[in-house]
Amino acid sequence: MEQDISSRQIAVYLHIPFCLTHCGYCTFFSVHYSKSSLELYLQYLHKEIDLFFQYHPDLAYAKSIYFGGGTPSLLRAEDIAELCAHFNFAEEAEITLEINPLQITKNYLSALKNTPVNRLSIGIQSMDNEELNLLDRKHKAEQIKDKIELCRQFGFNNISFDLIYGLPGSSLKKLKDNLIQFLYVKPEHISCYLLTLDSDTPLAAKIKKGKVPPLPADSLLAEEYELICSELNRAGYEQYEISNFCLPGKQSKHNLCYWKSMPYLGLGASASGFLPPYRYTNPSNLYDYYDHVEKGLIMPEAESCSSKQMIADFIMMGLRLTEGIDLNELKNHFNYDLEEDKGLQLEKLYSLGMIEKNGSYLSLSTKALFVSNTIIGELI
């Protein structure tokens, strides 16, 4: 490996693909839940972890663990504890569980307190029942306040909410009402995602058939994004990434590893990982995933990234952060001078007010954040 994994702890992602129902907008790999299918999946997940430890023993040292899905809160607390037990991590390590609001109960939270989980990422999506129905979410907006109070009672004091904006039929008023209700319960972190639909999703089909309104125009989406940024900033949230906001000191440590191009271990069907110089994605099919594990194969069809690809990834991911990228780190780590190589492009972007420089850090300007893909594309 070109990068010594043992020099730093690894970020660990575990994909739990099971769902009770499938949401009409979702494109993540998921399958229908049954107790027996989950039990079988866990057997293979434990085997895959052991295979990676054989490959490189230092992968057992975790700086963060993230249970994503799917619906990872379908795991029993004992399942979560057993998976975490594979890894060595500090007491202050961030251990996140994505949780469906419907599964926030006294019994589940009580059991969860006996695991290392110390951060909850809750798929709220909206505080408007019409929008929740449109998204095929089964919880109700009026349940959320009591659910969060219950989390607080059990000592969960690092909570993240997901908000989806740009929904069919959305308006600035609806969005502002959503934000008011989100802020009322004061989560430590809010991730705001613009709804993007693959053509084969059920919600896209409903739009095509005229059963629900079309997606909003780009001009309204830009206004919605501006409203989110201004309202959350006014409420004391720091925008540290294009779509992510937090109270001081509550950034997602796990996701920062992605944005800073640090190594991460992806475990489970469809999970992706980056163990420099290798990037890999596990099969998005349970039987193929089981077959690979059974044969002792890890990192199927791994791509050995060239220096050019890793430089592009560093720039693309790092410019999503509001602090931007450290040009000195780019030079020291990759022997690459962005200002020398992309001088004309940078000059144009400076003149348009799309990028800024603070010391050795290059970042997108505030007005460039909503059109970030276009700006970043100029530099890679």
Decide if pLDDT at 7 tops 60: no
- Mean pLDDT over 200-216 rounds to 86
Least confident piece of the model among 81-85, 176-180, 213-217, 259-263:
213-217
* Residue 117 burial class via C-beta count within 10 angstroms: exposed 0-12, middle 13-18, buried 19 and up: buried
CATH number among 3.40.50.2000, 3.80.30.20, 1.10.3720.10, 3.40.50.2300, domain 5-258: 3.80.30.20
What is the helix, strand, coil percentage profile of the chain, to 5?
45, 20, 35
Look at residues 206, 152, 146, 181 and name the one whose alpha carbon lies nearest to residue 23: 206
Q: List the strands of the sheet with 62-69, edge to edge.
A: 238-241, 244-246, 189-194, 159-165, 119-125, 94-99, 62-69, 10-16, 264-267, 272-275, 278-281, 303-304
The mean pLDDT of the chain is 93
- Domain range list for the chain: 5-258, 320-380
Give per-residue pLDDT as tens, 56-109: 999 999 999 999 999 999 999 999 999 999 999 999 999 999 999 999 999 999
Query: How far is CA 131 from its chain centroid?
Result: 22
Give per-residue pLDDT as tens, 320-372: 999 999 999 999 999 999 999 999 999 999 999 999 999 999 999 999 999 99
Give per-residue pLDDT as tens, 269-312: 999 999 999 999 999 999 999 999 999 999 988 999 999 999 99
Give per-residue pLDDT as tens, 219-256: 999 999 999 999 999 999 999 999 999 999 999 999 99
User: Within 13 Å and on the Cβ side, how many CA atoms surround 84?
Assistant: 26
Q: What is the DSSP letter of 101?
A: G
- Mean pLDDT over 15-36 rounds to 81
Q: Vertex 16, ends 14 and 19: CA angle to 5°?
A: 160
